[in-house]
Amino acid sequence: MKIRSSFNYTHTLFILLGGVILLFLIAPLAGMFLSVKAPELFATLEDREVSESIFRTLAISALATGIAAIFALPLSYILARKKFPLKGLLEAIIDLPVMIPHSAAGIALLGFISRDSALGSLASSFGLNLVGSNVAIAMAMAFVSLPFLINSAKDGFAAVPVRLEQAAETLGASKFRIFTQISLPLAKRSVVSGLLLMFARGMSEFGAVVIVAYHPMTTPVLIFDRFNSFGLSYARPVAVIFVAVTLILFILLRIYQKRKC
**Dihedral over Cα of 155, 156, 157, 158: its sign:** positive
Residue 20 burial (C-beta neighbours within 10 Å; 0-12, 13-18, 19+): exposed
Whole-angstrom distance, CA of residue 84 vs CA of residue 100? 26
pLDDT in tens, 245-256: 999 998 888 887
According to the model, what pLDDT value does residue 253 have? 84
Alpha helices in the chain (DSSP H): 2-35, 38-45, 48-81, 87-99, 102-113, 118-125, 134-158, 162-170, 175-178, 184-186, 188-203, 207-212, 219-230, 232-260
According to the model, what pLDDT value does residue 10 have? 85
pLDDT in tens, 121-179: 999 999 899 999 999 999 999 999 999 999 999 999 999 999 999 999 999 999 999 99
Q: Assess whether pLDDT exceeds 70 at residue 241.
A: yes
pTM of the model: 0.91
Whole-angstrom distance, CA of residue 231 vs CA of residue 136? 28
**Where do the structural domains in the chain lie, given as residue ranges?**
1-35, 39-260
Fold (CATH) for 39-260? MetI-like fold (1.10.3720)
According to the model, what pLDDT value does residue 201 have? 95
Residues 235, 226 contacting (CB under 8 angstroms): yes
Q: Assess whether pLDDT exceeds 70 at residue 70.
A: yes
Q: Assess whether pLDDT exceeds 50 at residue 1.
A: no
Residues 202, 64 contacting (CB under 8 angstroms): yes
According to the model, what pLDDT value does residue 22 have? 95
According to the model, what pLDDT value does residue 119 have? 92
Residue 261's pLDDT band, with cuts at 50, 70 and 90, is low
At position 254, the amino acid (one-letter code) is: R
